[in-house]
Amino acid sequence: MSSLKGKHIVLGITGGIAAYKSAVLLRLLIKKGAEVQVVMTPAAKEFITPVTLSALSGKPVVSEFFTANTGEWHSHVDLGLWADLMIVAPATASTLGKMANGIADNMLVTTYLSAKEHVMVAPAMDLDMYASPSTRRNLATLACDGVEIIEAAEGELASHLVGKGRMAEPEEIVERAEKFFSRSEDMKGVKVAITIGPTYEKIDPVRFIGNYSSGKMGSSLALECAERGAEVTAICGPVSVYPDHPSVRVIKVESAEEMCKSALEDFEGCDIGILAAAVADYRPEVFSDHKIKREGTEEMTIRLVKNPDIAACVGSRKKEGQTIVGFALETDDAALNAEKKLDRKNLDMIVLNSLADKGAGFRTDTNKVTIFSRGGRPEEFPLKSKREVASDIVDAILKYRDKQKIQG
C-alpha cells in the first residue's frame, strides 16, 4: 500500500509550460490514494485550465482569495492546516522568489506561508534563469527553511535551448512524496540529544573567546530528527537561530562547562546522541569582573586552561543500545584525523566536514561531508544544503543502528 493513501496534499501550480505535467502528477497522486487540493496562481491558468484540474481532483480549484460573485473568502490558513504535504510543481522563478521572501500576493504563497507540514518544490524554468544567482539564492533560502527541493533535470526546454531547467518527471515527484511519508515516522519513539553551535568563554564582561559556528548544521539535524518523529533535546550555545519544532526542547547554554553539564544529564537517557557543537577547547583561567582597560598596557597575556571534551565524556559513558555521533572539523589530514577522533572519543560514527571544501563548514547554508562508521566504509556525499545533509546523516545513523541490532 502506498504511504500516500489517505494523505492530504496541496498541489500548488504556477505559470509555466510544465504546468501541463501537473495534470499527470495530480492523477498519479489520486491513484495512490491521496486527497489533493489544487491551488493555482493566476498565471498558471494561462497554461492549464482549472476545469481539467478540478475534474481530476474532484474538488474546486482554489486560486483567488474571494469568489467574485458571492464574496466567499477562501482561507489559506485552513488549507495550510489541512495539508500533510504541499507540493509546488512547477515552481517558477517568480514564485520561488516570493516564497523565499514572504511576498504573499497570491493564494499559493499565502498557503505556503501557513503550511504547518512539509513542503516540496519542483522548479521549472529556462536554463539561465535556473542558474542565475538570484534563483540559486532563493532555492538556498528555501532549503534552509526546510523546504525540500526537487532539482530540475537536464533536457530540451520550452525555449528549445537544451540545459538544466526541466521540471522533474511526475513519477519522480510522487516517489519523493512517498519517501517523505514512509520516512516521516521512522524515528517515532526515539530520543535524541544534540549539542549545537559555538561556546563563548568569558574573558571579562564584554569579551569572550568563541568561534564562527552559526548553529545551522546542528539545528538542521534537530529539525530533521523531530520531523521524522523523534523527541529531541537541543543543547544550544549562543546561536543565531534555534530549532523551532514542538518536539524539540531547547536548552540554552553559553560556555563549554555549561554545555558539558547539560550534555551529561541529557545524553544519559537518549538513544542517539549527536555532538554538532563547535566547543572551545580552552577557556581563560581567570574571568575579570571588570572590563580590562587598554591604557597603560602594551601587551596582554591570557592564560588558558583546557575545557572538558564533551564528546569524549559522553563516549566514555555510552550505554548498550546508544549511538553516539560526533563531528570532525578539519583543515589538514582530514580523513586520518576524523578516524582518530572516532576511536579516541569512543564514538559510533563521525561526520567529517573539511574547511578545505568550498561551501562546507561554518555559517554556510551548505555542507559537504564524509561519514565514518565503526566497522564500515566511509561514505562520501556531494555538496548539499545543510538540511539535505542532515537527512543523509540521519539515514546513515538509522542504517548503522539496524546493522547493530542484527549483529546483536
* Closest C-alpha among 104, 145, 111 to residue 8: 111
Q: Is 7 in the site for ligand PMT (CB under 6 A)?
A: no
Q: Is 275 in the site for ligand PMT (CB under 6 A)?
A: yes
Span interacting with ligand PMT, options 26-34, 116-124, 287-295, 323-331, rule CB under 6 A: 323-331
Q: Which three cell numbers stand for residue 142?
A: 528555501
Q: How far is the CB of 403 from ligand PMT (least distance, A)?
A: 22
Q: Could you say which DSSP state residue 238 is in?
A: S
Size of the site for ligand PMT (CB under 6 A): 28
Site for ligand PMT in 18-47 (CB under 6 A): none
Which residue of 96, 100, 310, 397 would you call a contact of ligand PMT, by CB under 6 A? 310
Sign of the Cα torsion 332, 334, 336, 338 reads positive
Span interacting with ligand PMT, options 87-95, 104-112, 144-152, 271-279, rule CB under 6 A: 271-279
If DSSP states are collapsed to H, E and C, what string results for 266-299?
A: HHCCCCEEEECCECCCEEECCCCCCCCCCCCCCC
| Residue 132 CB partners (closer than 8 Å, separation 6+) | 93
Q: Is 346 a catalytic residue?
A: no
Q: What are phi and psi of 352, to 5 degrees?
A: -90, 125
Residue window 175-214: x/- pattern of binding to ligand PMT, with contact defined by CB under 6 A: --------------------x-x---------------xx
Which residue of 4, 34, 48, 217 would you call a contact of ligand PMT, by CB under 6 A? 217
Site for ligand PMT in 120-159 (CB under 6 A): none
Q: Is 277 in the site for ligand PMT (CB under 6 A)?
A: yes
Q: How far is the CB of 405 from ligand PMT (least distance, A)?
A: 24
Contact indicator for 277, 207 with CB cutoff of 8 Å? no
Q: Which is nearer to ligand PMT, 210 or 229 (CB)?
A: 210
Q: H or E element: which one contains 69?
A: none
State whether residue 29 is helix, strand or coil. helix
What's the Cα-to-Cα distance from 389 to each of 95, 175, 291, 365, rounded to whole Å? 25, 20, 42, 10
> In one letter, which amino acid is 289?
D
* Residue of 101, 138, 211, 346 marked active site: 211
Which residue of 311, 324, 334, 342 would you call a contact of ligand PMT, by CB under 6 A? 311
Nearest-angstrom CA–CA distance, 109 and 96: 9
Q: Is 215 in the site for ligand PMT (CB under 6 A)?
A: yes
Q: Is 328 in the site for ligand PMT (CB under 6 A)?
A: yes
> In one letter, which amino acid is 313?
C
Helices (H), 126-241: 127-131, 133-144, 170-183, 216-227
Site for ligand PMT in 340-369 (CB under 6 A): 341, 353, 361-363
The count of C-alpha atoms lying within 13 angstroms of the C-alpha of 87, restricted to the half-sphere facing its C-beta, is 30
Q: Which is nearer to ligand PMT, 222 or 276 (CB)?
A: 276
What does the binding site for ligand PMT look like in residue numbers (CB under 6 A)?
Answer: 195, 197, 213-218, 256, 275-279, 281, 307, 309-311, 326-329, 341, 353, 361-363
Catalytically active residues, by annotation: 211
